[in-house]
Amino acid sequence: MALTLPTRIEVSRLGWAAYALAGLTVALDQLSKAWFLSLHLGPAERLPVLPPIFYLSSVANDGVSFGLLKAHNGPMRWVLVGLALVVAGALADYARKTTRPLIAAALGLIIGGAVGNNLIDRVRFGSVVDFLDFSGLYFPWVFNVADSAITVGVVLLIADLYFAQKKA
């Protein structure tokens, strides 16, 4: 049995919007990290932005969300890169067929965040570059634009599920 590939892959208008938002998310994430890295802060340094609430702090996160499952630049690093490829690919495939704006926005943000953090950063640096530090608000984790995009994307998915159930 021969494997046949589709001759043309259809992408909905909202699918294209999701891809555009993913690209924008990756660009904002990588530009913000490039800017931050140009500051050359050491690992123990904190740059006050809005003290005592907001600082810029240099953290190389080699784990997954919130520093869990540390990869320590070993084989787990490449497992996380592979996982990001699979997840981003599956979400991109789902996005191409979407007909709901909230789902398109959510998928675009999640795809962009996964590519920015778990693909680009892990391949380039071996870890994720985190620098947004709101510890003055008793939020103990340092994060970045991609983390924020993934979080907002998940909230949008939950909101879409909630509103879809209310309609039904």
State the catalytic residue, choosing from 62, 121, 130, 133.
Answer: 130
Q: State the pLDDT confidence band at 59, using cuts at 50, 70 and 90.
A: very high
**Does 147 participate in catalysis according to the annotation?**
yes
Give the model confidence (pLDDT) of 12-38 as tens digits: 999 999 999 999 999 999 999 999 999
Mean pLDDT calculated for residue range 103-128: 94
DSSP 123: H
**Does 62 participate in catalysis according to the annotation?**
no
Q: What is the mean pLDDT of the chain?
A: 90
Flag whether pLDDT at 62 surpasses 90. Answer: no
State the catalytic residue, choosing from 29, 121, 133, 147.
Answer: 147
Helix/strand/coil for 76? helix
